[in-house]
Amino acid sequence: MGVTAWTTLLIGASFLLYIGIAIRSRASSTGEFYIAGQHVPPLANGMATAADWMSAASFISMAGIISFSGYDGSVYLMGWTGGYVLLALLLAPYLRKFGKYTVPDFIGERYYSQVARVVAVICAIFISFTYVAGQMRGVGVVFSRFLEVDVTWGVIIGMGIVFIYAVLGGMKGITYTQVAQYCVLIFAFMVPAIFISLLVADTMIPHIGFGSIPAGSELSLLARLDGLHEQLGFSTYTLGSGNTINLLAITFALMAGTAGLPHVIIRFYTVPRVRDARKSAGWALLFIAILYTTAPAVAVFARTNLIDTVYKDDSFQPHEQMPGWFQTWEGTGLIRFEDKNGDGLVQYVGAAAVDDQGQSIANELTIDRDIMVLANPEIAGLPNWVIALVAAGGLAAALSTAAGLLLVVSTSVSHDLLRKWLKPDLSEKQELLAARIAAGAAVCVAGYLGINPPGFVAEVVAFAFGLAAASFFPAILMGIFMKRMNREGAIAGMVVGLVFTASYIIFFRFIDPELDKPENWWWGISPKGIGTVGMLFNFMVAGIVRSFTSDPPDEVMQMVEEIRVPERSSA
């Protein structure tokens, strides 16, 4: 069977599975629609959280980013996993004890303020939509590359699937589809990784393969890659670019941002008890770590394979001798070769490359880093069904994240805006209907954004973390750990954190991108890491404002006491 037949078969089968699950798990109350009736076992919630969290970016882009940036890519690995430690120790158990439906719910009640609730709703909707646009785009791209379907139709098919299980089943439907999607995506990621590890490093375990010394060679894989990088004028793969403070700031902003993302937090409301919230955080990170620790190995294998293709026996290879996959991806424009000196050789070099006479060499090859995971099976010459599997895995990753985000939008509208603010007399039935309509509308908006992506989506997604780190994370943290933190302090802190972080990012990315260089950054911190500084400002301002305003009401302090201890039986 050809690649297209296999892809159609695997994607079709996985979609049938998702729809089947959706039909079995329809939601009949708001409790089921918002938090799956709090009946989800911790292990299942761990898988669902892992699928919810790992998006098209984790599945498709991350290994590629690491492959091209080496050590510097570690910030994503540590940032996107380290955040779960913060979540598990500092947020999840207490929010589960609080037990209401959304993050704005917690902010609104803890800070006894509708203003705080509405600010939180707006942040949650903004973060979710910027994120979801990228997911729908990912769905469209996978369809168009593997099945030669137009991107628009790809997005529409993806929307249809999400519509069925998100609108029918709410959180209940989403949870069990996400469990299935986790299984699909992790299988799809690991199978090619194991195959390639066997080919390159003679071991089934990529984590060991990536640090091994291949048989018949004196150099380890990494030492050889470092050597190739040096010859070709790239920076050393295993060493950082040297700006330590910036790396620290970016890593921390990604960690705190991860812990503050509403679609991840809301998953911890769905388990039965506080102790289950702790365990399910453990399962979630374990399931995420399987992919996140394999990705750096895939990155090294892919990078080595790529360089070996264009640069053999210390010389660049002629373009006409490039393998089939090279030409296929050139056809999509994701690999571009421009023969600047007209010698027919593919010169792939870094900025520091010089020839024997000390003249600098021009780079002639541009590679889109997103293709590293998608093209890896072809590069390694793996069978067609493995290539098809990667397509199904990419779709599972994108759809599961999109569904989780759409649910946040839907609950924010029906619960936080309508029920808790604009129309408090809404009946349970009406609220459920409103939630379904909001979910349906959100799917359509997401689809529109996927078909017509605003140019700045990629930029904004990266900064959603900075904004979450500077607003939600400190507000929730202080709400739990500082009993006396009051409304005035929390709102002032959130506003300062948000405004500072957003202004810094908007200035360097949109108003004056020319100035976006290390020498102009404050404290040497790039816009990606500035959320860490925004968070510190949030804490400082909140503390100062609190010190000269009045304590929160007694019932709020009582509530804080109560979320700190686990639930007890009515006995």
Partner 1 sequence: MTTPDRPPARDYWRKNLILIAILLSIWAFVSFGLGIYWAEDLHGIKAPLPGTPLGFWFAQQGSIFTFVILIWVYAWRMNRLDDEYFSDEGE
Q: Which residues bind partner 1 (CB under 8 A)?
A: 66, 71, 74, 77-78, 81-82, 84-85, 88-90, 93, 207-208, 210-213, 220-223, 238-240, 244, 247-248, 251-252, 274-275, 278-279, 281-282, 285-286, 289, 292-293, 296, 558, 561-562, 564-571
Dist CA 288 CA 81 (whole Å): 8
Rank residues 72 and 378 by Cβ distance to partner 1 and give the closer one: 72
CB of 386 to partner 1, least distance (A): 24
Q: Cβ 282 to partner 1, closest distance in Å?
A: 4
Q: Which is nearer to partner 1, 59 or 165 (CB)?
A: 59
Contact 132, 446 (CB under 8 A): yes
CA distance 301 to 45: 32
Q: Between 77 and 375, name the residue whose CB sits nearer to partner 1.
A: 77
The smaller minimum CB distance to partner 1, of residues 339 and 567, is found at 567
Q: How far apart are CA 120 and CA 416, in angstroms?
A: 10
Residue among 244 and 503 whose Cβ is closer to partner 1:
244
Beta strand ranges found along 487-547 (DSSP E):
none
**CA 335 – CA 262 distance, rounded (Å):** 37
CB closer to partner 1 out of 251 and 526? 251
Q: Which residues pair with 337 in a beta bridge?
A: 365
Q: What is the distance between the terminal CA atoms of the chain, rounded to a whole angstrom? A: 63
* Residue 393 Cβ vs partner 1, minimum distance, rounded to whole Å: 20
Query: Are 81 and 285 within 8 A, CB to CB?
Result: yes
CA-CA distances (angstroms) from residue 261 to 12, 18, 45, 125, 429? 31, 25, 17, 11, 28
C-alpha to C-alpha distance for 475 and 486, rounded to whole angstroms:
10
In the bound state with partner 1, the residue whose beta carbon lies nearer, of 146 and 237, is 237
Locus of tokens 């393998």: 323
CB 271 within 8 A of CB 40: yes
Q: Which residue has the tokens 């790239």?
A: 234
- In degrees and rounded to multiples of 5, residue 360 shows phi and psi of -75, 145
State the minimum distance, in angstroms, from the CB of residue 113 to partner 1. Answer: 24
Nearer to partner 1 (CB atom), residue 17 or residue 248: 248
Q: How far is CA 90 from the centre of its chain?
A: 21
For residue 28, count CB atoms less than 10 angstroms from its CB and return exposed for 0-12, middle for 13-18, buried for 19 or more. exposed
Quick one: 215 exposed, middle or buried, by C-beta within 10 A (0-12, 13-18, 19+)?
exposed
Q: What is residue 202's three-state secondary structure? A: coil
CB neighbourhood size of 538 (10 A) = 30
Residue 54 C-beta: closest distance to partner 1, Å: 14
Q: Which is nearer to partner 1, 161 or 525 (CB)?
A: 525
**Residue that has been written with the tokens 């780190």 in this structure:** 469
**Rounded to the nearest whole angstrom, what is the least distance from the CB of residue 32 to partner 1 in the complex?**
21
Cβ closest to partner 1, residue 81 vs residue 347: 81
Pairing verdict, β 335-337 and 315-316: unpaired
Least separation in angstroms between residue 207's CB and partner 1 is: 6
